[in-house]
Structure formats: C-alpha cells, structure tokens
Structure 1
Amino acid sequence: MTRDEARAVWAASGLTYADLTLGNLQSLRDLINAEMKQSDLFAPSGRTGGTYRMNAKIDADIGVEGWWAALTCRAYYFKNREAVTFNGGGFIGFAGWSDETNVQPILAGFSNWVASLTSQERKAA
C-alpha cells in the first residue's frame, strides 16, 4: 500500500476530522502498534525481534485551521518520529521520514482503523 492509497481509503470512508476523538486516536495508535510488533522491523544486529513501536503520547488540539493530531513512533535508534499526522487543511501524513518498507505497518494499522470506524458507524445507523 502507498501513502496515497491510505489517504484514498480515508477519503472513500466518508470520515472527517469531526469523527476524531481521543478514544479513536488511541485505537489507531494501538492498531498501528500491533502491526509494528508483528513486522519485526528495526531489530538491532544480533537480536531477534524488532523494536518498532508507537509512543503512548498523542498530541491533539484544535488550531486555526481546525483539528490536528500527531502520533509518533520509536525504535532502538530513534525516539520521536512521525507515524500519522492529521494536519490542518485535511492533509494526513504518514511517516514522511520512512521508506516504503518501514511505513507498511503504519499504513496497515491506519487502514484497519478506518475499516473499524466505518463498521461502527454502520452499526450505529
């Protein structure tokens, strides 16, 4: 999956920033974290298992251009890099620092999260 394909999943879902809540963002963090753990990415030399994980802290607020939120990640050699950002103006960023391999757990977790939110909305309707 590419970053643009993940953005298309969001756009096709009908979800908006108005659907973002702290609880939903925590679910997103948890789903991405599970994908990161399964990926075994960022394993130090001579060690089994990866160290790729989500950070617990979620930064979110309402700014001049509306909602924004930032979820960050870490591994054995970095501590606070972008995983997913919901930026003012509606742009969603996905690990801009990452290559196409290391972004995959983030995109998979995001897509699963969008599917779970749309499923919840259908049940509520």
Structure 2
Amino acid sequence: MTLSDKLTRDQVRDAFNRNLTYADLCGIDIRALQGFIAIECARHDRKLASKGELLMLMQPSCLKKHAPNISASTERPGIYEAFLRVDGRYWQGREAVSFNGDGFIGIAGWADDNNVQPFLRGFMRWLKEWMNCTRGIPRSAIADPAAYAAALAC
C-alpha cells in the first residue's frame, strides 16, 4: 500500500482484531479515539480546502444526547459496547464508530469510500499511537509520515 491508497473498513477491523479485544479498552481509550478521528476529519477538510472543494466540516457531536456512550462489561474487564457520533454541516449524531455488544465494529456506515477515510485513518492512528498496536497496521494508514515515524520510534 502507498499513502495514496484508500483503507477499507475490513482492514481496520482486522487490525483491531489482530491486536485487541473489547477487554483491552476503557472509556479513556474510546475518548482518545474520538480525538484522533476529530484530527483526521480536520486534516481531510484542510486537504479539500486546498483544492477549493466543499468542506465536510465533521466534528465530534456537541449535543449531550449524542455524547460518547460507553458501557462497561459486567462479566470481564473492559467495555461491553461504545458508540461515537459525529456532526456535519447538515446533520447531527451520525455514527462515527460503534463497538457493538456482539463484537462488530461499525465505522461510518453512512459514508462512501472517500468520506470514510478520515475515520479509518483516525482509527488506525489510534491503534498505533494510543493503543501501541503493531500487527496488521499498514504504513500508509498514517496520513502524516512524520507522525508515523515518531510513533515507531517510541
């Protein structure tokens, strides 16, 4: 893969499953994921602005009813499920990432293959830089090669 290649939802799910389970996650980790996604959405808009294109203007949801919803597991350490939402120019509360109770991880199911990229890059950066994962994470998953090199140096 090169930096110009697009990630897929299945690649991200596979990278997660190779490295982690829900038992490895806590609420702080989910909030950190929200931050990585916010940064990648802003980068996506900066790239669109440099081309004179219409911005997506996505950000973590601001309304209380769309705040991160994180449920702890009662049977084991970690989370049972968690839901992150995003607001856009004309809508509020769409799925950003969902860690469903059945183990399925949903990633911006409403978005096409182009508009999902900031969510996928944010998720991969989170895996690498926050969760310290290494298996199944392609170099191209990190939008900023300098940040990727710095993460590898840690």
The match for 1:101 is 114
- In 1, Cα distance between equivalents of 2:92 and 2:84: 12
Q: Secondary structure at the match of 1:78?
A: coil
Instruction: Identify if the C-alpha distance between structure 1 residues 2 and 61 changes in structure 2 by more than 3 Å, giving closer, same or farther.
Output: same
Q: Report if the CA contact (8 A) 2:32-2:130 is conserved.
A: no
Q: Report if the CA contact (8 A) 2:70-2:82 is conserved.
A: yes
- Measured on the aligned residues, the alpha-carbon RMSD in Å equals 2.7
Superimposed CA distance per residue, residues 7-55 of structure 1 (whole angstroms, 9 cap, x where no aligned partner): 0110122x11012111111110000000001111898xx9975411122
- In 2, Cα distance between equivalents of 1:84 and 1:72: 7
Ranges in structure 1 where 5+ consecutive residues have no aligned partner: 121-125
- In 2, Cα distance between equivalents of 1:107 and 1:30: 13
**Within-5 A mapping of 1:2-13:** 2-13=8-19
- In 2, Cα distance between equivalents of 1:117 and 1:59: 20
Aligned length: 117
Report the structure, 1 or 2, having the larger strand content: 1
Q: Report if the CA contact (8 A) 2:97-2:105 is conserved.
A: yes
Q: Secondary structure at the match of 1:116?
A: helix
User: TM-score scaled to structure 1, two decimals?
Assistant: 0.81
User: Which is further off, 19-28 or 76-85?
Assistant: 19-28
Deviation at 1:118, TM superposition (A): 4.0
Ranges in structure 2 where 5+ consecutive residues have no aligned partner: 1-6, 134-154
Which of the residues 67, 71, 87 maps onto 1:61? 71
Instruction: Identify if the C-alpha distance between structure 1 residues 64 and 19 changes in structure 2 by more than 3 Å, giving closer, same or farther.
Output: closer
User: TM-score scaled to structure 2, two decimals?
Assistant: 0.67
- In 2, Cα distance between equivalents of 1:59 and 1:8: 23
**Within-5 A mapping of 1:13-52:** 13=19, 15-40=20-45, 49-52=55-58
Instruction: Identify if the C-alpha distance between structure 1 residues 38 and 117 changes in structure 2 by more than 3 Å, giving closer, same or farther.
Output: closer
